[in-house]
Amino acid sequence: MTTTHTRLLLVTEQTEHDVPARDLAFALALRDKLPLDVVLPMVSNAEFEQVAPALAARAEALAAHRRNLLLADARAAGVSVQVTSPSGPELHELVVDAAGALANDLIVIRRRGQRGLLARLLVGEMVSRVVAHAPCSVLIAPPGARPWSKAVLVGIDPRCKDTSLLTHAVALARERDLTLRILCVAPDESSCLPAEATLSAATATASQMGVRVDAELRFGRPYQQLLAATQDCGADLLLIGRHGDDNILQAWVGGTAQKVIGLSDCPVLIHVPKHPST
Confidence grade of residue 115 (pLDDT, cut at 50, 70, 90): low
Q: Is the pLDDT of residue 219 over 70?
A: yes
Q: What pLDDT shows up at residue 122?
A: 74
C-alpha–C-alpha distance, residues 135 and 6, integer Å:
15
**Superfamily grouping for domain 151-271:** HUPs (3.40.50.620)
Q: State the pTM of this model.
A: 0.91
Burial 85-111 (b: 16+ CB within 10 A, else e): bbbeeebbebbbbbbeebebbbbbbbb
Task: Name the percent of the chain lying above pLDDT 70.
Answer: 88
Residue 50 has pLDDT above 60, yes or no: yes
Q: Measured in whole angstroms, how far is the alpha carbon of residue 75 from the centre of its chain? A: 25
CATH 3.90.600.10 fits 8-141, yes or no: no
Say how far apart CA 243 and CA 131 lie, in whole Å: 11
Portion of the chain with pLDDT greater than 90, in percent: 68
Taking only the tens place, the pLDDT of each residue in 235-272 is 999 999 986 443 444 444 447 888 899 999 999 999 99
Give me the pLDDT at residue 162, please. 84
Neighbouring residues of 157: CB distance < 8 A, sequence distance ≥ 6: 184, 222, 241, 243
pLDDT digits (tens, 9 = 90+) for 130-178: 998 999 999 999 999 999 999 999 999 888 888 999 999 999 999 999 9
SS3 143: coil
Please state the rounded mean pLDDT for residues 177-184: 97
Domain with CATH 3.40.50.620 in the chain: 8-141, 151-271
What Rg value do the Cα atoms of the chain yield, rounded? 19
**What's the burial of 59, exposed, middle or buried (CB within 10 Å: 0-12/13-18/19+)?**
middle
